Structure 1
Amino acid sequence: MTMSRIPFPFEIKDVEENLAKELMVHYTGELTGFVQVGPKKYFFPHKYKEEAEDIYNIPVKPDDVYVVTFPRSGTTWTQELVWLVKNDLDFESAKETPLPFRFPFLEISVIIHPVFLKPMIEDSIANPRKFHVADTAKPGAVKAANLKSPRFIKSHLPLSLLPPGLLDTAKVVYVARDPRDSAVSFYHLSRTYAIQGAPKDFKTYWNYFIKGLHHYSPIFEHVKEAWNMRHHPNLLFIFYEELSKDLPAVIRRVSDFLGKEITQEQVEKLADHLNFNNFKDNTSVNHVLMKNADLAVEGEAPFVRKGKVGGWRDYFDDEMVEQADRWLKENLADTDLRYPSWELTDFPTKDRKNSINVDYMRTPQGRT
């Protein structure tokens, strides 16, 4: 029986031509333009138009596991954690097979402009024995259909743009990070890879970012969608700051969520594997594929960079700190979402009791 196709429910609008041209001066990986999607105006490269409905209609399987995040929120860290827990800590297979093949990026084909993708495909044909980015850059719906079960899928799309039956059918692990740290990390990633591109100075990038003018933005709408579903039994909401502060506790929560038993010895072994000092040197997860495809800009940051909580302070001048404070308060006025790393002074007195989610940190799967 063939399932009926669901029309994509959101309007997709082209970003105004002059603004698109201005942004393409900085975001050099995009050569056609950009779109904004739905009432929240999620921002994507122009190619998203071609795949939006196909991605929305991907059939979901009960044994699927998705890791969903806004970019640079601990995605790779969580993918490796989830894959190893689900695969009984098979470190050998994890070492032998790069993470993008074990846990593919659903919409990477949207991010890579055809001009950049063409030489990757040509190289993959000329050198079939090599691992290639092109092998993982098929359209998302095609890629998902070709994956063997159980499928592990990474996406940076907000929940509203993923298949509507996702949470009622499959498991989703969502990770959120202080948006100031995410912005700094996303800036470095974009500067590092030719398929992205970013302004030369962070302040210019930041002023686009807070206006929702970078891939997958606006970040608060993205996170709030998942936060509002955090009590759903098939969604596990994790903060990046929890991974940094108490990795063994997160490993246990993920194991419980995925229905896998894990011993204390296994927790310690996995925590050591995922320890940031070890993780950043792990070539299976640190996107050696991008370097092999000549996509990395010489002298820029590695894919797995510093992993520092609060590192944004090294990049913000006084004006940006005040600007960020206003941005945070405006965007969180309608929600009880607060990040564990925030200090009591980050919010007005009436909100201080909610500044650090102590109860959230203590309860399984963050249920209050």
Structure 2
Amino acid sequence: MPGQLPLPWAPESPTPEEDARLRAAYSALQPHGVAMFGPSRVVLAPDAAPALARCYNTPLHPDDTWVVTLPKSGEETGRGTTWTQELVWLLLNDCDFTGARTMLMPDRWHFHDIQVITTADTRAAVRAAPGTPSSRIFFEPIEARPRPWFVKTHLPLHMCPPRLIDTCKVIYVARNPKDMCVSFFHHQHLFRKAAPSLGMEEFVDLFIDGLTVSLPYFPHVLEAWKQRHHPNMLFLFFEDLKKDLRGSIIKVAEFLGKPTTEKQLDELEQHLHFRNLKDNPWVNWEWLSSSVWSVGQNRKFMRKGQTGDWKNHFTRESDRKIETWMKKELQNTDLTFVTDIPEGQQ
């Protein structure tokens, strides 16, 4: 289309060693594999370039709001990504709890990059069931949505529209890499992407090496961290949401310019409590169990999401590896993570 910016990155094939590791670990990648894009070699679908170009050229408006995260930065807990989406929508819609009784996606939020992080087989299955929530999430163009737009993406900032932060409000949610690794491991098995034999120790190595969709981790997080002082950027830690839900609500409300009354704060805090979101059919994704984009009957999208749960999953060697990696990647930065919160404070 005239006026469209060219995508700056061509797909790059994984090395033979990377390809072998990826195909062995992820059953879903057997037919097609993956491609890497951009300077940090973000792992995406091998045919992602056309959809990625559309993402890169998404129209922007000053009243749009974007939530940017890596996958599993808290979705399964009802906080993190999903928590932030629900809070942002409610704040910008004057705490309309009745209006929030519609599906978080596709009704209220647009999943910006779903096509670039899913396999061609998954997309074909979804396309074959038109009119379903899955079909709308995958294929409904953002231009068909009512404005203002609410957009969720797992893409790093440099793969989003170039003037995103200068134009729109952007909330970035980061989670400590240890717990995110555990969450992402369960996610790969939940969506039947992983080979049944893929264990945690092997997955830790893949996670560190950036060999799963949407990774590598640190380039994504550090790019956003460097933009944290931009007036249109709010950088949130999942762990802060866990420790101080009410304080986090106030922080987001102030960022969005939506002052709240004490009554609204009470209502939002109650609505956003994990036990309530977990049972809320409009946000808990349980409908996926019976969809063509299936995760299987009776399998839960929302897990417990405890900060420090990694201790129940990592061996000493896995923890040593991830600690060494974190220390190396965080050198010469002032970014730090909370990797454990006492149970009584969560």
Tell me, in whole angstroms, the C-alpha distance in 2 between the residues paired with 1:136 and 1:223.
Answer: 25
TM-score (norm 1): 0.85
The amino acid across from 1:6 in the alignment is: L
Tell me, in whole angstroms, the C-alpha distance in 2 between the residues paired with 1:34 and 1:326.
Answer: 27
Shift of 1:33: 1.6
Q: 1:90 aligns with which of 90, 93, 96?
A: 96
Give me the CA root mean square deviation: 2.0
- Note closer, same or farther for the CA distance 1:164–1:3 as it changes in structure 2 (3 Å cut): farther
Q: Which residue of 1 aligns with 2:233?
A: 235
| Aligned residue runs from structure 1 range 25-174, under 5 A | 25-30=24-29, 31-73=31-73, 74-124=80-130, 128=131, 131-138=132-139, 143-174=141-172
Conserved? CA contact 1:8–1:53, under 8 Å: yes
Higher relative contact order (CA 8 A, sep 6+): 2
TM-score (norm 2): 0.90
Query: Unaligned regions of 5+ residues in structure 2, if any?
Result: 74-79, 342-346
Deviations 1:146-184 (A, max 9, x none): 222100000000101100000000000000010111111
Matched, 1:7 2:13: no
What SS is found at the alignment partner of 1:14? Answer: coil
Shift of 1:330: 0.5
Q: Which residue of 1 aligns with 2:330?
A: 332
Conserved? CA contact 1:44–1:215, under 8 Å: yes
Tell me, in whole angstroms, the C-alpha distance in 1 between the residues paired with 2:107 and 2:322.
Answer: 37
Tell me, in whole angstroms, the C-alpha distance in 1 between the residues paired with 2:126 and 2:51.
Answer: 20
Tell me, in whole angstroms, the C-alpha distance in 2 between the residues paired with 1:181 and 1:252.
Answer: 25
Tell me, in whole angstroms, the C-alpha distance in 2 between the residues paired with 1:160 and 1:260.
Answer: 28
Q: 1:310 aligns with which of 308, 312, 317?
A: 308
What SS is found at the alignment partner of 2:27? Answer: coil
Deviates further, 53-62 or 176-185: 53-62
Tell me, in whole angstroms, the C-alpha distance in 2 between the residues paired with 1:166 and 1:132.
Answer: 27
Aligned residues: 333
Tell me, in whole angstroms, the C-alpha distance in 1 between the residues paired with 2:282 and 2:297.
Answer: 21
- Note closer, same or farther for the CA distance 1:113–1:283 as it changes in structure 2 (3 Å cut): same
Tell me, in whole angstroms, the C-alpha distance in 2 between the residues paired with 1:233 and 1:98.
Answer: 26
Deviates further, 237-246 or 278-287: 278-287
Deviates further, 32-41 or 13-22: 13-22
Q: 2:194 aligns with which of 177, 197, 210?
A: 197
Conserved? CA contact 1:120–1:132, under 8 Å: no
- Note closer, same or farther for the CA distance 1:117–1:9 as it changes in structure 2 (3 Å cut): closer
Conserved? CA contact 1:104–1:136, under 8 Å: yes
Shift of 1:136: 1.1
